């Protein structure tokens, strides 16, 4: 079945450093979504990418969807302590009836 | 507007007892998911309902777990003969087809 792999599992950075998490799917995706879960909270939707090669930005966050629509990345520039949390990618394949498959998540900690 | 509502927010029960967890999705959302999340871990998919289609139960860990979605709205996740390893946060999410998921605050289940 479809799998979505996400790396790294953990990332510890100094405040001000950049951070990137990568997501790879075993199948071609119709879209990919990114979520953030703060400690003690539930996942909250950040963004959805649909087009091959699409790049979207939200302030210091840059999201990319690969040309083959099988991989994606989230890059945070100049991390802040408010960026702490776990970032999940989630993808939908064309043949899964709309079912969203989550990656394992990347837990980001930021040292002030 | 109202978001996804889960109840109870916390449940403590003895090993061997049955528990029912409830999810009220956002009105009109056709897709409903149940996930399990242990401390510091990712989202473990349990079950997926989409409209009137047969649910995808591929994530249910054992036959002690079952879920229903009545009238395309409210869903109940039932765990029979609970075990200590069932202790976790159970998250429900709803969405329109192929659209972002909206998560509830979860039910924290503790098995003594």
Average the pLDDT over A12-31 and give the result: 96
CA nearest to B108 within chain A: A40
- Per-position b or e across B10-43, b if 16+ CB within 10 A of its CB: ebebeeeeebebebbbbeebbbbbbbbbeeeebb
Average the pLDDT over B60-65 and give the result: 96
B100/A42 Cβ within 8 A: no
Average the pLDDT over A65-90 and give the result: 97
| Residue B72, pLDDT score | 78
B31/A42 Cβ within 8 A: no
Of chain A, the percentage scoring pLDDT greater than 70 comes to 99
CB pairs under 8 A between A and B: 50
pLDDT category, A95, cuts 50, 70, 90? confident
Q: Is it the case that residue A22 has pLDDT exceeding 80?
A: yes
A45/B101 Cβ within 8 A: yes
- Say yes or no: B25 contacts chain A, CB-CB below 8 A: no
Strand, helix or coil at B61? coil
Q: Is it the case that residue A7 has pLDDT exceeding 80?
A: yes
Q: Is it the case that residue B31 has pLDDT exceeding 70?
A: yes
Q: Is it the case that residue A94 has pLDDT exceeding 60?
A: yes
**DSSP states of A49-91:** E-STT-EEEETTEEEEE-TTSSEEEEEESS--GGG-EEEEEEE
Residue B1 CA: distances (Å) to CA of A12, A29, A71, B5, B76? 37, 31, 34, 12, 22
| Tens-digit pLDDT profile for residues B92-106 | 999 998 889 999 999
Give the tokens for residue B49: 């309902």
Q: Which of B42, B59, B89 to mutate to test the interface with A (most CBs of A within 10 A)?
A: B42
- Say yes or no: B103 contacts chain A, CB-CB below 8 A: yes
B50/A45 Cβ within 8 A: no
- Spell out which residues of chain B touch residue A35, defining contact as CB-CB under 8 Å: 101
- Say yes or no: B20 contacts chain A, CB-CB below 8 A: no
CA distance B94 to chain A (A): 11
Q: Is it the case that residue B88 has pLDDT exceeding 80?
A: yes
Strand, helix or coil at A99? coil
Q: Kind of pairing, strands B88-95 and B107-111? A: antiparallel
- Say yes or no: B90 contacts chain A, CB-CB below 8 A: no
User: Distance (Å, rounded) from C-alpha A16 to C-alpha A61?
Assistant: 13
């Amino acid at each position: 079945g479809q799998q979505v792999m996400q790396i790294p599992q953990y990332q510890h950075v100094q405040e001000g450093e950049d951070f990137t998490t990568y997501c790879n799917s075993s199948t071609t995706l119709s879209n990919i979504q990114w979520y953030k879960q703060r400690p003690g909270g539930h996942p909250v939707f950040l963004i959805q990418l649909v087009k091959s090669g699409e790049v979207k930005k939200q302030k210091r966050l840059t999201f990319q969807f690969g040309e083959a629509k099988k991989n994606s990345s989230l890059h945070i520039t100049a991390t802040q302590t408010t960026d702490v949390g776990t970032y999940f990618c989630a993808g939908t394949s064309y043949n899964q009836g709309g079912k969203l498959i989550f990656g394992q998540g990347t837990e980001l900690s930021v040292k002030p | 507007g109202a978001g996804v509502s889960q109840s109870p927010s916390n449940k403590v029960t003895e090993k061997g007892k049955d528990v029912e967890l409830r999810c009220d999705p956002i009105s009109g959302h056709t897709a409903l998911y149940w996930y399990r999340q242990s401390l510091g871990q990712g989202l473990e998919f349990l079950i997926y309902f989409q409209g009137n289609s047969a649910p995808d139960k591929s994530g249910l860990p054992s036959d002690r777990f079952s879920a229903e979605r009545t009238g395309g709205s409210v869903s109940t996740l039932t765990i029979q003969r609970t075990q200590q390893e069932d202790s976790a946060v159970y998250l429900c999410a709803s969405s329109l087809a192929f659209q972002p998921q909206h998560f509830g605050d979860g039910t924290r289940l503790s098995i003594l």
